[in-house]
Amino acid sequence: MHNIDDVETEETLTCLRITVHHPLHEIKNVFQLIHFNKREKHMVEDPLKVGRDTKSCHISLYDLRVSRVQFSIQAFRHFNSSKLFFEIKNLSKKGKLIVNNRELEHLNKVELPKKALVRFAEFQLLVEKEDGESTESFDTFFELARTPPWQEILCAPSMSPIPETGILINACTVPQQCSLQTPVEMEECELK
Amino acid sequence: MHNIDDVETEETLTCLRITVHHPLHEIKNVFQLIHFNKREKHMVEDPLKVGRDTKSCHISLYDLRVSRVQFSIQAFRHFNSSKLFFEIKNLSKKGKLIVNNRELEHLNKVELPKKALVRFAEFQLLVEKEDGESTESFDTFFELARTPPWQEILCAPSMSPIPETGILINACTVPQQCSLQTPVEMEECELK
C-alpha cells in the first residue's frame, strides 16, 4: 500500500455525462455493450470513437443502422486555457450526424457546447460536460433515458431564450426532417 | 485480374509533402524509420501520429528528445467543401510545438495552412499540401532536407509580404527563442 505522502495530488476529472435514448432499445437491446452508471476513464490523447465496430470503437452500439465508426469525440485545449474542451467529428460516410441544430457530413466537425444533443439513425445522445482539473484524462458516464432527451430539454423552463432575430442554434431546435421515426408534437419547438 | 470496366474510377489523393530536417541527422540517424521519397497512404479517419513510440505512431523519429507521441495531424472537411484540410495538435506534455509562428502547448491545435513550418526539439518539418479529390484517404511523401527548410523559405523572393500593420504569422517569422541550437543569421527575419 502506498504511503499517502508519496501519492500525487488527486485531480478532479472532466466528465462527459452522456444520456442515451433509442425508441426501440428494449426490443433491439442496442445498448447492450454500454456500461451504464459507471465512470470510465479515457486518455485525452485518444479520440473516443463511437460506432458499431467493437474492435475500433471505445463505445459500441449494437445496431446495423450505425456505421462501423460513426463519430469521434476528441479533447483539446484552447490557447491560454487549462480547461478541456471537446470536438465531435462525423466519421460515417453514409449517415449524417446532427449536433444540436447542425448537420455534419463525413469529416465535418464542431466544438461541443456545454450541453449538446447528438443525433444519428434513431439515436439521441445528450452530452453534458462537467469541468474538471486534469488535462491527462477525462471520464465518461452513461445514463439511459426512457424518453428522448430533447423532449426534456423542451420541457425545461426558459433554458433556451428565443432571440428576436437570428437563428437559434441550440438543443431545442430540432428540425422535423431529422427527428425520430416516432412522430412527436412539435408545437413548442422552433422548426428549421 | 480485374476487368477495367469493374474497377472504380481512380481519384487523385491529397498529398502532404513533408520535408524534414535535423542538424545532426547524419550522426544520430534520427530519420532511420522514415521511408523517404515514397508515397504512403493513410485513411482520413485515423489521426496520423508522429513521435518516438514505434507502436502507437505512424511516423517514428529515433531521438530521445522527441516525446512518445509528439503530435498528430488529422484530416477534416469544412462545411460545404469537398476538400480535405488538416489540423495539427500537440500531444506532448513536455515539449512545445511551433507551427509557423504559433506555439502550441499540450492539446492546443491549429489548422495547417497550405504551407506550414512545424518545429519541435531540433526538428524542422515543412508540410505542404497538394489538393486531391479523394475524401477517403490521403498520401504522405517524405523528403530529406540538408539545409533547414525555413532558410529556404527566407530566401524565396517575396513569398511572404510583410503587412504594414498587424502580426505576420507565416513560416518566415521564426522566433529566436524557438530557433535551433545552431545559431543562424536572423537579419532578414522578423523576430517575435
pLDDT one-digit tens code per residue, B100-115: 989 999 999 999 999 9
Tell me which residues of chain B, numbers 58 to 77, contact chain A at a CB-CB cutoff of 8 Å: 69, 72, 75-77
Instruction: Give the separation between CA A122 and CA B153, rounded to whole angstroms.
Output: 52
Tell me which residues of chain A, numbers 6 to 35, contact chain B at a CB-CB cutoff of 8 Å: none
Q: Min CA distance, A23 vs chain B (Å)? A: 29
Q: Min CA distance, B184 vs chain A (Å)? A: 29
Closest Cβ opposite residue A47 in set B47, B107, B135: B47
Q: Is the dihedral of CA A40, A44, A46, A52 positive or negative?
A: positive
B106 touches chain A (CB under 8 A): yes
Q: What is the mean pLDDT of residues A130-142?
A: 97
Pull the grid cell for residue B29: 540517424
Q: Kindly state the percentage of chain B with pLDDT values over 70.
A: 77
Q: What is the pLDDT of residue B188?
A: 36
What is the average pLDDT score of chain A? Answer: 83
Of A131-140, B56-65, B152-161, minimum mean pLDDT range: B152-161
Q: What is the pTM of this model?
A: 0.79
CA distances from residue B107 to A57, A83, B49, B72 in whole angstroms, order as listed: 22, 10, 13, 10
- Complex-level ipTM: 0.78
Q: What are the backbone angles phi and psi of residue A154, rounded to the nearest 5°?
A: -60, -40
Q: Which residue of B has its CA nearest to A136?
A: B93
- Looking at residue B58, the DSSP 8-state letter turns out to be S
Residues in chain A closer than 8 A to B45 (CB atoms): 69, 72, 91
Contact A108 B47 (CB under 8 A): no
**Stretch (H or E) spanning B150:** helix B149-155
Q: Is the pLDDT of residue B168 over 70?
A: no
Contact B107 A44 (CB under 8 A): yes
Residues in chain B closer than 8 A to A44 (CB atoms): 107
Q: Kindly state the percentage of chain B with pLDDT values over 90.
A: 68
Pull the grid cell for residue A57: 470503437
Contact A45 B69 (CB under 8 A): yes
String of DSSP letters for chain A: ---TTTSPPP---EEEEEEEE-TTHHHH-TTTT--BT-EEEEETTS-EEEES-TTT-SEE---TTS-SS-EEEEEE--TT--S-EEEEEE--SS--EEETTEEE-TT-EEE--SEEEEEETTEEEEEEEE--S-SSEEEEEEEE-SS-HHHHHHHSTTSSPPPSSS---STT---GGGS-SS----TTS---
